[in-house]
Chain A
Amino acid sequence: MLFWLAPPILWFTVFMLVPYAMLFYYSLGSVNYVTFEPGFSAANFIKVFTTQPYLGVMLKSAKLGLMTAIFTSILAYPVAFCLAFYAPAGRAKNFLYMLVIVPWWASYLVKAYAWKTILGSHGLINQLLLNTGIISHPLTFLLYNEFSVALTLTYIFTPFAILSIYSQLERIPVSLIEGARDLGATGWQIFYKIVFPISVPGILAGAVITFSLAFGDFISPALVGGPNSIMISNIVINLLGRAFDWPLAAAIGLVIIGMATALITVANHIERRLTVRL
């Protein structure tokens, strides 16, 4: 047992627990001009929760994360459903499966950038509308705001949600659905009494991942966001770089680590309760 357990425990201690302890050490200190001064004060944590913009940006990032989780789940469901039930097994299914994975593998930065070239004032949508005479001035509400950030995040993380929901739908045996049909269930009843409940843990697992990835994102706000759409990761990077406020960045980091731990615990608990054994 020790043979299996020792290497990973050693790894996670050195590369996670020790760094987190370092964050804690930093978070209790302060910065004097550019030198770090060790201390023992909760001032940085109080600042995170009481001084703007920190708490506000964290809430806004959570809001965007939640929107992303909801939109990706809605977009993903029909694709996962067709993949699980309608795609003929074999080559066609593998092909569709590959079609879902390929957009996920394409460079993240380039995908975000592609949206910029589509939505921008000289972008494709505006050029098309201008050339056809539908509008006379380029639309500016398409880019550099919360809408474009939410759209880009949803776009980038939808494949995750598809794969997550599919992994649950795939488990449903044909016999289960045929049995329900033979016993007189309508298509709709089969869906909301059998298929949907089984897929809930998949939706949830996908939503937890898309929420977290969107919450911590800093690329989309920087590339397609406006001045008001910075998110918490952008703030942390600014604190490290320009402001050189390590202690505050460390405090924000620890608060997020705490929230992430709570999120896994709750999600794990709900998932265990909702998973249908087949």
Chain B
Amino acid sequence: MHEFGNRKLLWSLAGAVMSFLYAPIVVMMIFSFNGTNYTTLPWGGFSFMWYEKLMTDQAMLSSVGNSVYVAVGVVLLGTLFGVPAAMALDRYRFPGKEVFRRIVLLPIVLPGVITGVALLSFYVLIGFHLSLYTIMLGQGTGLMCITITEVFARLQQTGKSQEEAAFDLGATQFEVFTKVTLPSIKTAVYGAVLITFSISFDEIAVTYLLTGRQNTLPMQLWSMLRREATPEINAIATLVVLASIVLITIGIRLSRGTSSHPPIREESV
């Protein structure tokens, strides 16, 4: 491709923005090794003491377990209900479709606290006790739109021609879905799973109102930040970043590398 734009200027602007994005993360990582009780200067020498403390902090460790548990549930709900919703939105016409689309997209722009308040008043009505499951249902509702929009976009991209061809060749509904539709939306579903998992793992607005006795990791961090913040917080955050790098790498591989056939674009005017 020919050059266009000022390559040097744009790279340096992008570099400046990227350093802005990484500065606090690097600061946070460095101070996880601080040998004092403070998350800022003075520097108390290099130490693993906060990582050791973390490994014996039962409340913190169980909150990580709770967060993973909730996130897995949210991902399952998102896939189980989100994929059918995307199929319905892309493949069929039905009365009230525009309204349905709006409702589905609403949680994207609605503050999590409002979703939380609405669900809380519903739980009070039916006498649900707050637990990890109430969080799961709340986040599931808030984050389902991710799977729906990702899968819907892929369905629009691939078009219906392959499915129609399969029908013409005598495939049943079930065969068309498992052998034609599913392979073509597979990578979009993987992408949605990854995004949903990460947002759920870090979610706090909906969770804040729906938490029962068991804390998720963000709620645990929140209560620590309100009391006394020690570099233990930096230590757990550093580990979360490292774990997420691994997950993102796997995710990028899965959603780009394994696609058995490239998406076919419908010709558009």
Is the pairing of A and B real? yes
Is B20 within 8 A of A22, CB to CB? Answer: no
Is A8 within 8 A of B4, CB to CB? Answer: no
Q: How many angstroms from the CA of A8 to the CA of B81 in the assembled complex?
A: 5
Q: Which of A39-47, A48-56, A215-223 is the contact stretch?
A: A215-223
Is A4 within 8 A of B118, CB to CB? Answer: no
Q: Interface size for chain A: under 10, 10 to 19, 20 to 34, or 35 or more residues? A: 35 or more
Query: What distance in Å separates the Cβ of B202 from its nearest Cβ neighbour in chain A?
Result: 5
Interface string of B177-212 (1 = CB under 8 A from A): 000000000000000000000100010110011000
Is B229 within 8 A of A113, CB to CB? Answer: yes
Find chain B residues with CB under 8 A from A9 CB.
100
Query: What distance in Å separates the Cβ of A111 from its nearest Cβ neighbour in chain B?
Result: 6
List residues 239-269 of chain B with CB under 8 A from any CB of chain A. 240-241, 244-245, 247-249, 252, 256, 268-269
B111 in contact (CB, < 8 A): yes
Q: Interface size for chain B: under 10, 10 to 19, 20 to 34, or 35 or more residues? A: 35 or more
Query: What distance in Å separates the Cβ of A143 from its nearest Cβ neighbour in chain B?
Result: 12
Find chain B residues with CB under 8 A from A11 CB.
81, 141, 144
Find chain A residues with CB under 8 A from B222 CB.
109, 219
Q: Indicate whether A78 sits within 8 Å of B13 (C-beta atoms), given known contacts A12-B104, A114-B25.
A: yes
5 A-B contacts (beta carbon < 8 Å)? A99-B18, A105-B244, A117-B28, A122-B40, A178-B1
Listed in ascending order, the chain B residues whose CB lies under 8 Å from chain A are 1-7, 10-11, 13-14, 17-18, 20-25, 27-28, 31, 39-41, 80-82, 84-85, 87-88, 91-92, 94, 100, 102-114, 117-122, 125, 137-138, 140-141, 144, 148, 198, 202, 204-205, 208-209, 217-218, 221-222, 225, 229, 233-234, 236-237, 240-241, 244-245, 247-249, 252, 256, 268-269
Q: 13 new A-B pairs (CB below 8 Å) besides A108-B204, A110-B233?
A: A4-B84, A5-B92, A8-B148, A15-B119, A16-B141, A18-B122, A97-B252, A98-B252, A110-B237, A124-B41, A216-B114, A218-B208, A261-B102
